[in-house]
Structure 1
Amino acid sequence: MRQSTSAVLLPLLQRHAQSVPRRHFNVIQRGNDREVESLFALLGFGKESEVERVCRTRDELRQGYLREAMKLKDPQHNAKDVAKLADLRRAYTLLSDDPFRARYVSHHCVSPDATLHVHVDGGQTAANFNPEHQSFEFVDHALSFSSSSLLSSSAQRSFGDFTGPFQSATGVYSSPADAHPYQPRESSTPQNGNGINFMLRISFDESILGCTKAAVYEKDVTCSQCGGDGRQVLNRPRKCPQCRGRGSTHLPSATYHIERSCGYCGGKGVAPPPKCGKCGGAGVIKRHTVSVPIDVRPGTTTMTVRRFRGKGHDGVRGGNAGDLIVTVLVQEHRLFHRDGVDLHMVLPIPLSVALLGGVVSVPTLHGAQTLRIPPCVRNGQRLTMEGQGVCLDGEMDAIEKNNVEACEGSAQPQKQQRRRGNLYVHLLVVIPRREELTGAQRCALESFAAEGEGGINKEEGEKGEQETPASLKQRFRHWMTSL
């Protein structure tokens, strides 16, 4: 194990020593005026060379830890021995991580205060850092140093990715998140909620006569426990673990001194409260089902868009709620086809009524109505039933023109005149089948054919009101098959 580790780390260490000038951070700890003992010295390897330290295996480090621990007289009651044992356990846990041990040896760092990371002008993050002083020491005082997996991930998060000799020699990190032991404090500004798009499907009769439908959808609602802040409400605020309540972090160095506002607490010196246990820090409860009544006005057309303010996702930290955008989809009717405020339909009539005329029953929106058919009508001829179309008031007319604000936000709405369309009946002459004709009917038709038919005299008023079967089929092909 030791030979394989040496074979891998020794070439890297030699190449690093040739390309990068060595930097020694032998910084004196502030307040105590004494030099901090290195981790290798604590385990009894202080007199070894750099190569020998890197090649030490975990078993050898464990032997050094046990050897130094056996020298303690009373590690249970003596305060100095208890502190010494804690330092030994801490040194063994840190140095057991191979990547951490390689970085620690290459930088020769011994001061915990050298780990304070700050932002300097130009966007880079510089630090006279110390790998010995890891971010997990600040996370929570209740965390133990016995978890090697936690220490390994913490070491990677604190040091970032050293991919070049310049980063290894200078301590300049690729991003601020890698340099700071803590992530920057979350934004405290209000965040507005997002809008929701909803498709409302209604029948043809409901769109003409109006109705009230319910829009059932899922949205993010404000957490009732934290009030949308995403944090627990504490009676006593906690001191910031990164700046120790000072509100600022600084970089100790022999040549310069930089002090900036703490990026974790925002300069307040107070740590953010823990995340809310109900919403997980999001401030909202996800996928909450709500129901909103939708008033469908008479005469609503398909693809009409309605906006309901404040019915979308709730905001976070006091932000405004989003809007609910409702798009109305109207189903096709089996008889009627809408064209603005007018309605069109195809009415089949027998041959006798087409030749002799008569009175037929026509279905309308308000029930069956009678329609008089004049004699000798032609196939495709259009008859008009006035006032049997769609009825629109001024407010709905404004919605048709996408002017919702004009009809909803006007302080003094003007009285608009109602608009009522017509029902256009397109006649379809039905020719009887051969088996449906009686003998008398066949004789009458033969007599009519023997006398001969004169030319077709078109009346002037009928021109422009007739449509060919081909045009009718093209216009009403989407529902004409149900006849």
Structure 2
Amino acid sequence: MRDYYEILGVDRGCDEAALKSAFRKLAMEHHPDRNGGCEEAAGRFKELNEAYSVLSDPQKRATYDRFGHAGVNGMGGGGAQFHDAHDIFNEVFGDIFGDMFGMRGRQNRGPARGQDLRYDLEITLEQAYAGAEVEITAPTTLTCEPCDGSGAKPGTSPTTCTTCGGAGRVRATQGFFSIERACPRCGGSGRMVLDPCEHCRGLGMVRKERTLSVRIPAGVDDGARIRLAGEGDAGDRGGPRGDLYIFISVRPHELFERDGLDLLCTVPVPMATAALGGMVEAPCLMGGENCDGNCKIEVKVPEGAQTGQTVRLKGRGMPSLRSRERGDLVVELFIETPTRLTARQKELLTEFAGICGEQQHPKSAKFLGKAKRFWDEVTGAA
């Protein structure tokens, strides 16, 4: 009789992981189902099974190392009874094929948790700023009340599945192995509904729409997610409900653009106000001593303001979800050139332009200097 270590191709001092790896590789290679039922392959596989059943057991392995084949005769080795082939397959290959062949979770399925649900909710920037209470109508699965989720007609009860005897699993032989899988008749529940409930048609659950109140926290941002525990689908056979996840999207605003906690707003400024300095009104989303009830705030425009220049108003932006911090309101100034001028206005502007010099238009003077040097280089002028 061949040495068990030689059969598996491992050293005597190998550890359990190496032993298992060697058996897995050779068992896959010599499995009868992969060799067309070849008797030689079947014999080789049986030999591998015998060797592994002894060496994988610490007590048997110690006895075999000391006394050889004679020592394990009568202990489940040397031609005596070994581990069931199904048990060895489950032990060695369960992590690969367990889910595929249904060899995990041999017990019939108990109450199952309900599915989580998703609801997409669009809110306004004002709601995101101040927080809000919003009502939503969401489709969900509820436990059938007439049958209390059993699926059986009121006054009756589900019966034990006659195919699996209530185990929820059946065993089928495939080649050399005996494979377990979910019972096809009861779906793994271990029970059958012979007289189904008319309200839910034996499902134990019904589909309905529910109206829920959702609290939107102040400062919520686009893409945020709110979890409502236990507001998802009902669980199977009395299992716990799933959760409802609210995914928030904030509708684009016609005046404000959000940048983190800051709010950005572009405000037109009359040309005269920009030149002389003064005050303009800007929209805001909060009150305060400088903000009236119409959500307007006075913004000071510095003398000589230019388009693109910004004025930052501290603490006038969005609130933070996790602290008492607030962002800023950033007002971008847009200097507006007057249109549809009267003859008198044109006359005054012409006069004004005539008396302005480089001091009044420093950027223009600087630009013209650069442009002149460029033109001179292009034309070759000295």
Q: Determine if contact 1:228/1:315 at 8 Å carries over to the other structure.
A: no
* Residues 343/201 of structure 1: CA separation in 2 closer, same or farther (3 Å cut): same
Match 2:354 to one of 447, 450, 461: 450
SS at 2:305 equivalent: coil
1:361 corresponding residue in structure 2: 281
* Residues 200/239 of structure 1: CA separation in 2 closer, same or farther (3 Å cut): closer
Q: Determine if contact 1:265/1:271 at 8 Å carries over to the other structure.
A: yes
* Residues 448/297 of structure 1: CA separation in 2 closer, same or farther (3 Å cut): same
* Residues 436/215 of structure 1: CA separation in 2 closer, same or farther (3 Å cut): same
* Residues 309/236 of structure 1: CA separation in 2 closer, same or farther (3 Å cut): closer
1:429 corresponding residue in structure 2: 335
CA distance in 2, matches of 1:314, 1:322: 7
Q: Determine if contact 1:228/1:283 at 8 Å carries over to the other structure.
A: yes
Q: Determine if contact 2:284/2:297 at 8 Å carries over to the other structure.
A: yes
Encode CA deviations 1:69-100: one digit per residue, 9 max, x unaligned.
xxxxxxxxxxxxxxxxxxxxxxxxxxxxxxxx
Encode CA deviations 1:194-251: one digit per residue, 9 max, x unaligned.
111101111111111111001211111001122112123556998988899xxxxxxx
Q: Determine if contact 2:314/2:329 at 8 Å carries over to the other structure.
A: yes
CA distance in 2, matches of 1:419, 1:190: 46
SS at 1:369 equivalent: strand
Max Rg structure: 1
* Residues 283/243 of structure 1: CA separation in 2 closer, same or farther (3 Å cut): closer
Q: Determine if contact 1:188/1:317 at 8 Å carries over to the other structure.
A: no
* Residues 451/436 of structure 1: CA separation in 2 closer, same or farther (3 Å cut): closer
Letter in 1 for 2:226: R
2:128 corresponding residue in structure 1: 207
Report the CA distance between 1:290 and its aligned residue.
0.4
* Residues 189/199 of structure 1: CA separation in 2 closer, same or farther (3 Å cut): same
Letter in 2 for 1:338: R
SS at 1:391 equivalent: coil
Structure 2, unaligned runs of 5 or more: 1-84, 87-107, 166-182, 287-294, 364-382
Encode CA deviations 1:334-366: one digit per residue, 9 max, x unaligned.
111111111111111111111111122222113
Q: Determine if contact 1:344/1:425 at 8 Å carries over to the other structure.
A: yes
Q: Which has the higher contact order (CA 8 A, sep 6+)?
A: 2
Letter in 2 for 1:350: P
Q: Determine if contact 1:213/1:295 at 8 Å carries over to the other structure.
A: yes
Letter in 2 for 1:454: E
Give RMSD over aligned pairs.
3.7
Letter in 2 for 1:450: G
* Residues 347/241 of structure 1: CA separation in 2 closer, same or farther (3 Å cut): closer
2:219 corresponding residue in structure 1: 299
SS at 1:446 equivalent: helix
CA distance in 1, matches of 2:160, 2:285: 73
1:284 corresponding residue in structure 2: 205
1:372-391 matched pairs, under 5 angstroms: 372-391=300-319
SS at 1:362 equivalent: strand
CA distance in 2, matches of 1:436, 1:315: 73
Percent identical: 29
* Residues 428/296 of structure 1: CA separation in 2 closer, same or farther (3 Å cut): same
TM-score, structure 1 normalization: 0.44
CA distance in 1, matches of 2:309, 2:247: 37
CA distance in 2, matches of 1:271, 1:442: 93
Q: Determine if contact 2:156/2:195 at 8 Å carries over to the other structure.
A: no
Structure 1, unaligned runs of 5 or more: 1-120, 123-186, 245-261, 398-415, 459-483
Match 2:232 to one of 312, 319, 323: 312
CA distance in 1, matches of 2:326, 2:319: 4
Structure 1 residue 347 corresponds to structure 2 residue 287: no
Q: Determine if contact 1:387/1:423 at 8 Å carries over to the other structure.
A: yes
Letter in 2 for 1:299: G
SS at 1:420 equivalent: coil
1:157 corresponding residue in structure 2: none
1:129-144 matched pairs, under 5 angstroms: none
Letter in 2 for 1:280: R
Letter in 2 for 1:423: L
Structure 1 residue 225 corresponds to structure 2 residue 130: no
* Residues 240/354 of structure 1: CA separation in 2 closer, same or farther (3 Å cut): closer
* Residues 328/191 of structure 1: CA separation in 2 closer, same or farther (3 Å cut): same
* Residues 223/265 of structure 1: CA separation in 2 closer, same or farther (3 Å cut): closer
SS at 1:436 equivalent: coil
1:82-161 matched pairs, under 5 angstroms: none
Larger strand proportion of the pair: 2
CA distance in 1, matches of 2:241, 2:211: 16
CA distance in 1, matches of 2:325, 2:164: 72
SS at 1:359 equivalent: strand
Structure 1 residue 331 corresponds to structure 2 residue 259: no
* Residues 275/235 of structure 1: CA separation in 2 closer, same or farther (3 Å cut): closer
Aligned length: 236
TM-score, structure 2 normalization: 0.54
SS at 2:153 equivalent: coil
Encode CA deviations 1:229-282: one digit per residue, 9 max, x unaligned.
2123556998988899xxxxxxxxxxxxxxxxx99799xx99754222221111
CA distance in 2, matches of 1:371, 1:450: 31
* Residues 369/224 of structure 1: CA separation in 2 closer, same or farther (3 Å cut): same
